[in-house]
Structure 1
Amino acid sequence: MAELSVALGLWQDRPSIEAVETARAADGCGYARLWIGEMATYDAFALGAALPGRIPLVLGPFAVAVRTPVQIAIGAATVAELTGRTVEVAIGSSSPVVVGGWHGRPSPSPARALAETAQSLRTLLDGGRADVDGEAVRTRGYRLRAPAPGGPITVAAFGPAAVRAAARHADRMVLNLLTPTSAARLVDAMRAAVPPGRAVPRTAAWVTAAVDPDEAALAQLRRGVVGYLAAPGYGEVFAEAGFGDLVAYARTRPKPAALLAAVPDELVACVGAVGSAEQVRERIAEYGVDEVCLVPVSTDADPAGRATLEALAP
């Protein structure tokens, strides 16, 4: 059985403060660590420093085109010293909507940016002075003043170039919104790309989870996949799982409400873990990774996903 962690859902249709209660539940139920992503809701460092409890934290993935290695290292060291927790960091390439639209930043070669950011972070998080003059990352002269948190560096990967970057520079590779079959394929590709003499990175998968879901929970899961149906790569994952007609429809750019109405429950089940507690545990085992990060659905019937986390507690 994979090690079980929790990733905050930060669901857009739920109160943002509910993330704090999900964190409390993860801490109280004894999960291995809490992953705090960063996109549309909270600053991950501020939330990590504000959360009660002692559960180890993984902050990110941070978009490497938005956050510099120095920013990430300072943030991680700040949270570690102020909270006394174990703090790790994760990086990823994010999406054009986030990088170019929200932040107005150019998008360098994602694989190059991931590799150079990981190399810079390794030095900075270990207390060294990173001097990097790369194609995507440039930093010189800074060393952490707060105690260096060290710890593994995680790379969020999906495309072949990002998977190779994870193989060469990460301590852990994390995957998201995949079927067990597609996840296994990426894990195999990463392991095959590890240079001789380098330790094989650990693997993790973010998996949406709902124990005994009601219609509101299933609706939340359906909303969560709509934006990925037409995306390159993700669309192919759904097509491989038997939903090629829906992917083709999504790529005609229909109105969001029409596309949402066409998403069947079977589709969200293929990239998540839903059903009875036993069914969810069986699904988790199918992923074959070192760590499964549960993203609990949060509804009025199960606020903060607490009931799901309690039912699956390690």
Structure 2
Amino acid sequence: MTALSDPPPRWGLTIPLPGLTLDRHRSLVERLPDLGYTDVWTAEGGGTDAFTPLAAAAAWSPSLRIGTGIVPVHTRGPAVLTQTAATLAQLAPGRVLFGLGSSVPAHVADINGIPFDEPFKRTRDVLRFVTRALRGEHVSGDFDTFSIAGYQLPHPPVEPVKVILGALRPGMLRLGFTEGDGAITNLLFPEDVPTVLDAVGPQPPGKELVVKVFVCPTEDTGYARRATRPFLAWILNREPYRKFHEWLGHGELLRESHELWAAGDPEGAQRALPDEVVDGLFVSGSPEQCRERILRYHRPGVTTVQLYVSLPPEVLADRARLLDTLARLGPAAR
């Protein structure tokens, strides 16, 4: 739980919800502040882009913060990223968190045909470019991973945009806090949060540590495991997440799954994931049980909990049940 001196964490919801198209989100986003949610977030891989949902959300509910968690640094040029952040800031002044990150090769090279080269350096260079350009500076010259002839944003945001990094291990975490406005981390157990906080070190005021928590609110444990195990096996066998969990001390717990994946047996890798991993990294149970487990991620220094909520089809199909589930899951629940 948070210390008395710390404000309570903000609660964000990732949109669009899996299985619900963006055009069906307006009434949901309009209600989020009443349910205690303070933010909407997006992610970008092989489906919805990161920016269109945030532009829509800014129009639908003008009090919410909007955040990308995250946008890959390889798939857009640094000036385009800057322009996009600045445009979002016109729609939501002072309420934009611009999350950048290296992503994974599957989202960069495999589906976009862009080499996944030097991810740490590329992230660092884009961070440096974007933060300078958003301040209205003229940026030019050679970075380690690209060269810029010269760029200056014509209309820098009047109110600052917070630029944070998707970060899994100490190097990227420290980069986010020393040269950016913080970091967002995900796919970890509540017991791992202190390890992340120790790697971050003392946090200056105003910096953000966002923890993304995956949630499947259903009491049907079998359904929850069937629905979430394929994703977890896929993501935990991406190199960045494999190294992340090895750093956290979970290498032995995941060893069999890693070996089967490397041997070309993805179905075996899924089966080899222990139930404790599936249940721990993708929270399930009644909304009240899920909320209790989400609260375990609340530690001093965590500023925002971002929820990725995967709902059963029958809940998605019923607007009243959907809103009730999010209300019982969220920060305004009693």
The TM-score bracket by the shorter chain reads 0.7 to 0.9
Offset, 1:47:
2.5
Q: Which among 292, 304, 308 is matched to residue 282 of structure 1?
A: 292
Question: Does the aligned pair in 1 maintain the 2:16–2:53 contact within 8 Å?
Answer: no
Take 1:307 and 1:291, find their aligned partners in 2: how far apart are those partners?
22
Q: Does 1:270 align with 2:270?
A: no
1:95-143 Cα offsets, whole Å, 9 max, x none, are 1112222222223322222222112111222233223421024334322
Give the direction of change, closer, same or farther, for the CA distance of 1:84–1:115 in structure 2 (3 Å limit).
closer
- Structure 1 partner of 2:47: 41
Aligned 8 A contact 1:235 1:247 in 2: no
Q: Aligned match of 1:117 in 116, 123, 126?
A: 126
Aligned length: 307
Q: Is the 8 A contact 1:212 1:276 kept in 2?
A: yes
Give the aligned partner of residue 312 of structure 1.
329
Coordinate RMSD, CA, aligned: 3.0
The Cα shift of 1:313 comes to: 2.6
Q: CA deviation at 1:31?
A: 1.1
1:282 and 1:252 mapped to 2: Cα distance? 38
Question: Aligned equivalents of 2:97 and 2:148: distance in 1?
Answer: 21
Decide whether aligned partners of structure 1 residues 137 and 26 sit closer, same or farther in structure 2, where only a CA change above 3 A counts. Answer: farther
1:108 equivalent in structure 2: 117
Shift of 1:173: 0.9
Alignment-mate amino acid for residue 191 of structure 1: G
In the alignment, what sits opposite 2:313?
Answer: 300
Residue 9 of structure 1: how far off its partner (Å): 6.2
Percent identity over the alignment?
24
Match of 2:5 in 1: none
Aligned to 1:229: 236
1:7–1:294 CA contact under 8 A, matched in 2: yes
Does structure 1 retain, via aligned residues, the 8 Å contact 2:13–2:306?
yes
* 2:100–2:123 CA contact under 8 A, matched in 1: yes
- Is the CA contact (8 Å cut-off) linking 2:256 and 2:272 kept in structure 1? no
Within 2, Cα distance between the matches of 1:220 and 1:272?
A: 10
In the other structure, the counterpart of 2:196 is 186
Q: Which amino acid aligns with 2:214?
A: T
- TM-score after normalising by structure 1: 0.83
Deviation at 1:65, TM superposition (A): 1.6
Paired with 1:9 and 1:226, the residues of 2 have a C-alpha distance of 22
- Letter of the 2:111 partner, please give it: W
Q: Which residue of 2 aligns with 1:219?
A: 226
Contact kept, 8 Å, 1:241 with 1:270, in 2: the verdict is no
What is aligned with 1:204? Answer: 210
2:38 corresponds, among 21, 32, 42, to 32
Q: Is residue 155–residue 173 contact of structure 1 (8 Å, CA) maintained in 2?
A: yes
Q: 3-state DSSP class of the match of 1:158?
A: coil
Alpha carbons of 1:240 and 1:106: their partners in 2 closer, same or farther (altered >3 Å)?
A: closer
Matched, 1:71 2:84: no
Q: Which runs of 5+ in 1 are unaligned?
A: none
1:59–1:76 CA contact under 8 A, matched in 2:
no
Q: Which moved more, 1:298-307 or 1:112-121?
A: 298-307
Closer/same/farther in 2, CA of residues 211 and 100 from structure 1, 3 Å limit = closer
How far did residue 234 of structure 1 move?
4.8
